[in-house]
Every structure is written in structure tokens, then in C-alpha cells.
């Protein structure tokens, strides 16, 4: 594997008595795409948020591009300028146009002048296929278009690493494809990407590695064909069977409810 662009060592995170991450070790090489999958509450999003210190780890170390993010003396603003983050919700400013949503962070955080910021905004709107929406406002865009604007905004900051936290989970199914197509393009360009997702087709086709988490630990990781196609662990197999066959999951839940009522 190429040199680690992201390195996580012995990472722990607790919220009160609830230990969400229980000693995570993970490396992501430069230009590598790693998809993190697992059930709700497994710690996936918390892990992602610890990488750029949106959540403060309870223990362990995180390095991005060789810089220790968890060092108490680190210039976290400088580190974050190298990391793009795309959330489930789009977090666009509703009172600003699409172009203004892209230029404002560049000017305030990076100190770019108005002309440079506008040029870079236009370049990145073209990357996500939304040049014609430059003057539009978020309320006039579909959810998928808003998410693509959010990706363009992150890219306009010139990140070395992109973090995606369930970027399609808030979208109607017919809007998911356009967002995933943009992410596929970024992967082909060689962007280092860490993606928390339930999109198994995307993970299988685009990821270099898939990491399955459950209960705050990494249960298994490997090539997509191995983790998704031929998982070694029963916990992984059970998760994938429920995800890929929701009807079976509903039957299991109904059976469990009936058993529980009988026990009561």
C-alpha cells in the first residue's frame, strides 16, 4: 500500500459511559478509496468525525498526511483545510446562490480574492455537472443537486482527502445515482476517500478496500469481493443478508417481536 494519508492508531471514543469506539486501527493510503460499512450505532460516523476532530477522541492517535491531528499543539484549522467533508445533510446557506456558497469559504478561510474564488467555484461546479445552476439558490435544487453542490464546495477548498458521511442517505432513490457518479469520478482522479455508506454496489465497484464495523470495532476488512462477496465473519454475513434482503430482515424482526411478546 502507498504511504498512509490517514492513519488511526488505537482510537477510542466514549460518550459518557457509552464506549462507541473500542480501539480502532486503520490506514488509508494516498489515492485509496475505503468504504466503511456496518449497522447503525456501530461507530462508523464517529470514526469519520474523529479524523478531522469534529469529535474529540477519548484515546489513541489520528494522523492525516503525516500530521498528528490529535496532538494538543496541532494547528487543527490548517489540517482541516486539507480535508473535505461531506455530510448526510447538505448544510448549504439558503440565502446564498450556488456560486456564493462555493466562494464564501474560499475567501474567508483561504483568503482567495473574489475573481480566483469565482473561477475555482466554476471549475468545481463543472466537475459535478452543475454549471447551469451557478446562479440558483438551494431551495430551487433537488436533494441530489444540493449534495453535488456540497461536494463541489468541499472540492473548491483543494483538499487532499475527502470524507463522506452517508452522502446519499437523505436522498430519494432516483437522485442517488448522480451523486455516486460524481464520487466515482473523484476516485478515478485519484482522490483519497473515506466513505461511510450503505451503498453496496458503490462499495463493490469503487472501493479499494471495505471495512466492516460493529460494536465499535473493525470486524473485518479487505477487498470488496472478499468482504461483501465472501465475508469470513458471521456478523458481516448477517449484516449483509439483512441489508441486501430487507424482506428477510422484516420477517426476522416480526418473529423477534412475537417471541418477545410470548416471553412477556
Which pLDDT tens digit goes with each residue over 216-264? Answer: 999 999 999 999 999 999 999 999 998 876 554 444 444 444 434 444 4
Query: Can you give the pLDDT at residue 259?
Result: 39
Taking the C-alpha atoms of residue 20 and residue 182, their distance in angstroms, rounded to an integer, is: 31
Query: Can you give the pLDDT at residue 194?
Result: 97
| Cα distances (angstroms) measured from residue 249 to each of 148, 241, 256 | 32, 8, 10
Taking the C-alpha atoms of residue 93 and residue 78, their distance in angstroms, rounded to an integer, is: 23
Taking the C-alpha atoms of residue 179 and residue 128, their distance in angstroms, rounded to an integer, is: 8
State the pTM of this model: 0.89
Helix (H, G, I), strand (E, B) or coil at 215: coil
119-152 burial code (b ≥16 CB/10 A, e <16): ebbbebbebbebeebbeebbeebebbbbbbbbbb
Query: Can you give the pLDDT at residue 252?
Result: 43
Query: Can you give the pLDDT at residue 114?
Result: 95
Query: Can you give the pLDDT at residue 156?
Result: 96
Residue segments in the chain with a per-residue pLDDT below the cut of 50: 1, 248-264
Residues 6+ apart with CB under 8 A from 231: 212, 220, 237, 240
Amino acid at each position: 500500500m502507498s504511504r498512509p494519508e490517514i492513519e488511526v492508531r488505537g482510537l477510542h471514543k466514549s460518550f459518557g459511559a457509552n464506549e462507541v469506539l473500542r480501539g480502532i486501527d486503520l490506514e488509508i493510503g494516498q489515492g485509496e478509496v475505503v468504504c466503511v460499512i456496518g449497522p447503525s450505532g456501530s461507530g462508523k460516523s464517529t470514526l469519520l468525525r474523529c479524523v478531522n476532530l469534529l469529535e474529540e477522541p477519548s484515546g489513541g492517535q489520528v494522523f492525516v498526511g503525516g500530521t498528528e491531528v490529535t496532538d494538543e499543539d496541532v494547528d487543527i484549522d490548517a489540517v482541516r483545510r486539507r480535508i473535505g467533508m461531506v455530510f448526510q445533510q447538505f448544510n448549504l446557506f439558503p440565502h446564498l446562490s450556488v456560486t456564493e456558497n462555493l466562494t464564501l469559504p474560499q475567501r474567508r478561510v483561504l483568503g482567495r480574492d473574489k475573481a480566483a474564488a469565482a473561477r475555482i467555484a466554476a471549475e468545481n461546479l463543472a466537475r459535478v455537472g452543475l454549471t447551469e445552476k451557478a446562479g440558483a439558490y438551494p431551495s430551487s435544487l433537488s436533494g441530489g443537486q444540493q449534495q453535488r453542490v456540497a461536494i463541489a464546495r468541499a472540492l473548491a477548498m483543494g483538499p487532499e482527502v475527502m470524507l463522506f458521511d452517508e452522502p446519499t442517505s437523505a436522498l430519494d432513490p432516483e437522485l442517488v445515482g448522480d451523486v455516486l457518479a460524481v464520487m466515482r469520478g473523484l476516485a478515478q482522479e485519484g482522490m483519497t476517500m473515506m466513505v461511510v455508506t450503505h451503498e453496496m454496489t458503490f462499495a463493490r465497484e469503487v472501493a479499494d478496500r471495505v471495512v466492516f464495523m460493529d460494536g465499535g470495532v473493525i470486524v473485518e476488512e479487505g477487498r470488496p469481493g472478499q468482504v461483501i462477496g465472501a465475508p469470513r465473519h458471521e456478523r458481516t454475513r448477517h449484516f449483509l443478508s439483512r441489508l441486501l434482503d430487507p424482506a428477510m430482515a422484516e420477517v426476522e424482526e416480526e418473529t423477534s417481536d412475537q417471541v418477545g411478546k410470548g416471553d412477556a
